[in-house]
Amino acid sequence: MSSFCFSQMIESYISTFASTVKSNNPKVTPLLSIWTENGRPGDYENSSNFFKMAVNQSHRKSFIQSSIKIARLYRFEGLELHVSTLLNTTGNMTNLGTLFDEWRVAIDSELKESTSGQKKLILTTAGYYVPEVESLSYPVDSIRRNFDWMSLRSYDYRTRFTDKFLYNFTGAHTALYDPSSQVNTDYVGAGLSIPWVWMDRNDNGIGAPAKTGSIIGDGSLSYDAIRKYLRSYKIDPVYNSTYVINYFTFGSSWVGFDDVEAIRAKVAYAKEKGLLGYNVWQVPNDHNWDLSKAAVKNLTSRGKSSDHNQQIISFADISEATNCFSDENKLGEGGYGPVYKPSPCASPLNIWELAHANMGIISFVQDFS
C-alpha cells in the first residue's frame, strides 16, 4: 500500500492513456485517479488499507513519491484521490489530513526542483456526498488548503448497497431535489441506473412500494444499455421534474436513471450555483455521446450569468493563466482569498482574484482590466 504496483495489462492502458487523450484533444487535462475502495459495492478493504498507510510517516512518503513518479512517467497532468468510502471505515482522519498536507508540499517542491519546465501537477479529490457520517468526518480544513478541486459524489443516494438505509420503496438515487428527504444533491451541496422490483402495478412513481432488485449482478445498468432496452421494448421513459430524474417500468422492474432532460437540468443547476464543473461516472456508459453532448452544450455556453452577472471562465483557463496557481504568480491575499497575476502571454486581464470556496472549489470573482 506504500507504493503503486500495476499488472502488465493495467499498465498497458495507463501508460498510453494520457498521450492518447491529449493527441485527440490537447485541451484535456488527464488525471491519474487513485481509489481507496475495491470495485465491488460494500467492500471497503482497500479503504482500511489506505488508513493503515496514512498513519505511518514512511509509508505516506513512499505513497506520495510513487504517485508523483507514476503521474510524470505516464504524462498525467494531475492526481485525483477518490475517497468516497472512507467514512464507512474506522480510521484516524487526523492522519488523513497530514497526508494531504505532505502531498501538497511534495507537489510544490517537485516543481521547484524540476529543470524540465514542466507544469505543476493539479491535485484533486472526490468525496462522499456528506462531509460527516456518524462519528467520522473529512479533514475539511486540510482539503481546503491542499486541493485545487473537489467533486462530491451526487449519486447512489438510495441503492441496495447503501449501508445506512434499508429501503422498501422506489428511490431516486441521483435526486437533485427530494421533498420528503434530505438525501439529495441540493441539500448536500450519471448515467447509471438503479433497478427496483415494484409491488403495485397501479402505483409506479417515485416512492412506490418496492424491494431492491437486480437486472444484472451489481444492480446497475449503463445508459447505453437502457437506451437499447427502451428501443427494443418500445418503452417511453418518464421525466420527473420534482426530483430531476427519469425512470421507466417494464413488467415488475422499475429503473431510475438520468436521461438528457435530467442532465441538462443538473448542469444548469451547477452553473447557477457557481460551480466550475461536474464529475461523470462513467463516460463509457453513455450512448452515442448523448449525455455528454447535452452536458457540454449547457456547460460551455459563454457570456454573462443571469444570477451572478459574472463572465464564465473555465478552471482550465484560470489554471493555465496563473501557471497552475504557482507561488511565483501569487500577489497576496484578498478579501475572498489568494490573488494571482496571470502570465504575460496568457490573458489580457491584469489581475484575477480567486476565492477558494467551501470544499476547495475555486471561483472567479473579480477582474481588474
Question: Would the pLDDT of 71 be above 70?
Answer: yes
Structure confidence at residue 91 (pLDDT): 60
Average pLDDT over residues 236-248: 93
Angle at 362 between CA 342 and CA 266, to 5 degrees: 130
Torsion-angle region of 324 (φ positive above 0: left; ψ -120 to 50: alpha; else: beta): left
C-alpha cell at 54: 496514512
Percent of the chain with pLDDT over 90: 28
Helix (H, G, I), strand (E, B) or coil at 42: coil
Band of residue 353 on the pLDDT scale cut at 50, 70, 90: very low
Structure confidence at residue 186 (pLDDT): 80
Structure confidence at residue 369 (pLDDT): 34
Question: Would the pLDDT of 66 be above 90?
Answer: yes
Task: Report the distance separating Cα 339 and Cα 333, nearest Å.
Answer: 5
Q: 3-48, pLDDT tens digit by residue? A: 566 667 778 888 999 999 999 889 899 999 998 765 454 555 556 7
Task: Report the distance separating Cα 362 and Cα 149, nearest Å.
Answer: 7
Average pLDDT over residues 280-303: 80
Q: Count the residues in the chain.
A: 369
Structure confidence at residue 368 (pLDDT): 34
Helices 45-54/57-73 angle, 10° precision: 110
Helix residue ranges, H only, 6-165: 8-24, 45-54, 57-73, 93-113, 140-146
Range with the poorest average pLDDT among 61-70, 271-280, 352-361: 352-361
> 180 near 142, Cβ under 8 Å?
no
> 253 near 215, Cβ under 8 Å?
yes
Q: Which of 188-197, 214-223, 237-246, 322-331 has the highest mean pLDDT?
A: 237-246
Structure confidence at residue 331 (pLDDT): 76
Q: 114-158, pLDDT tens digit by residue? A: 777 789 999 999 877 665 555 567 788 898 999 998 888 787 777
What is Dmax (Cα atoms) for the chain? 69
Question: Would the pLDDT of 304 be above 60?
Answer: no
Band of residue 167 on the pLDDT scale cut at 50, 70, 90: low
Average pLDDT over residues 202-209: 77
Nearest residue to 85 (alpha-carbon basis) of 140, 125, 44: 44
Average pLDDT over residues 57-78: 95
Complete domains list, the chain, with CATH = 8-152 (3.20.20.80), 157-275 (3.10.50.10), 315-368 (no CATH)
Structure confidence at residue 159 (pLDDT): 64
Average pLDDT over residues 256-262: 92
* Beta strands in the chain, from DSSP E residues, in sequence order: 31-35, 78-82, 122-127, 132-133, 136-137, 149-152, 192-198, 210-212, 221-222, 238-240, 245-250, 253-257, 330-333, 338-340, 351-356, 362-368
Task: Report the distance separating Cα 250 and Cα 256, nearest Å.
Answer: 12
Structure confidence at residue 139 (pLDDT): 83
Task: Report the distance separating Cα 151 and Cα 134, nearest Å.
Answer: 21
Structure confidence at residue 74 (pLDDT): 94
